[in-house]
């Protein structure tokens, strides 16, 4: 029965490895870039951004509409690399005179990203989004459009569905329905139950009453287009789909002169009594 001793040792090692992976998995899921707040503020000033504070604490960046007369707010929930300050292309898009829209733009920073303290997790990201939506609702009393990008699509879908009275509509860019199906694409050997963070956006979004625009990149290797299409197909609400067939995850064209952006904005801001499935 001597064989049991080495087998037991191997089993103990495997259990130890599994336990280690379980507890460090967030380091394998989230890829935050961290910044010093002072240096980030200097960079933001050059980009025309102001710090966005909640109860005196930094939570992101904001850009007021140039003449101060915005009619709505755009809240951007960014993807899983870089920081919020790297998403000025959304500010440039939604404040472009070409779109004939008047938005204040807010770039939310996640805990543990950029200069914001904390650590990323499903709970911390959703809490940050919940608080940001609540603050915009209280401060501006203007319609809010949520823009989620990649990881931000599941954050937006869940947070927006929790506060439907505050959110006029959502734009989900390079979306996926939940974290387990995305993880399966990249780590097929990892069982779904092993994940501590699930982000079940597909389940949450079913309760959202407003319009949802899905923008899928046809050559996406990070959030494969099949996941975005499945998310769209499974959503029972007011929706429209745009597919950029030749775009990759990070190569979508955000030029406001493109017709797609006018179409998306018209869909998200039209009267509530119009339907589109």
| Judgement on whether residues 38 and 25 belong to the same structural domain of the protein | no
Res 20: pLDDT: 45
| Judgement on whether residues 69 and 145 belong to the same structural domain of the protein | yes
User: What's the total number of domains in the chain?
Assistant: 2
Res 193: pLDDT: 64
Least confident of 82-91, 138-147, 219-228: 138-147
| Judgement on whether residues 103 and 19 belong to the same structural domain of the protein | no
- What CATH number does the domain containing 227 carry? 3.40.50.1820
The domain in which residue 172 lies consists of 33-269
**Alpha helices (H) in the chain, listed in sequence order:** 4-29, 37-47, 88-94, 122-140, 151-162, 179-186, 201-205, 225-234, 259-269
Least confident of 48-52, 153-157, 177-181: 177-181
For residues 107 and 61, is the Cβ–Cβ distance under 8 A? yes
Which of residues 1 and 56 earns the better pLDDT score? 56
For residues 252 and 129, is the Cβ–Cβ distance under 8 A? no
Report yes or no on 261 lying in a domain.
yes
* Average pLDDT of the segment spanning 244-251: 97
Rounded CA-CA distance 45/57 in Å is: 18
Cα–Cα nearest to 156, from 76, 93, 100? 76
| Judgement on whether residues 115 and 18 belong to the same structural domain of the protein | no
How open is the CA angle 238-244-84, to the nearest 5 degrees?
A: 80
Report yes or no on 275 lying in a domain.
no
In tens, the pLDDT along 61-118 reads 999 999 989 999 999 999 998 999 999 999 999 999 999 889 999 999 999 999 999 9
């Amino acid at each position: 029965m001597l064989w049991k001793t080495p087998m037991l040792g191997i089993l103990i090692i495997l259990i130890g490895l599994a336990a280690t992976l379980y507890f460090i998995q967030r380091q394998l899921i989230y890829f935050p870039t961290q910044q010093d707040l002072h240096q980030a503020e200097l960079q933001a000033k050059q980009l025309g951004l102001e710090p966005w504070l909640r109860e005196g604490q930094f939570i992101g960046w904001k850009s007021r509409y140039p003449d101060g007369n915005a009619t709505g707010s755009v809240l951007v929930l960014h993807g899983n690399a870089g920081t919020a300050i790297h998403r000025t292309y959304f500010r440039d898009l939604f404040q472009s005179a070409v779109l004939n829209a008047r938005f204040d733009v807010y770039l939310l920073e996640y805990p543990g990203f950029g200069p914001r303290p904390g650590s990323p997790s499903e709970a911390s990201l959703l809490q940050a989004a919940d608080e940001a939506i609540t603050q915009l609702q209280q401060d501006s009393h203007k319609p809010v459009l949520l823009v989620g990008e990649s990881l931000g699509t599941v954050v937006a879908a869940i947070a927006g569905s929790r506060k439907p009275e505050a959110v006029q509509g959502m734009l989900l860019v390079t979306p996926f329905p939940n974290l387990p199906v995305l993880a399966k694409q990249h780590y097929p050997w990892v069982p779904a139950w092993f994940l501590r963070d699930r982000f079940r956006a597909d389940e949450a979004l079913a309760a959202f009453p407003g319009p949802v625009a899905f923008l899928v990149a046809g050559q996406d290797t990070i959030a494969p287009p099949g996941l975005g299409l499945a998310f769209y197909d499974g959503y029972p609400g007011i929706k429209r789909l745009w597919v950029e067939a030749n775009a990759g995850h990070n190569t979508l064209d955000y030029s406001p002169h493109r017709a797609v952006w006018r179409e998306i904005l018209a869909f998200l801001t039209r009267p509530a009594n119009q339907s589109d499935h």
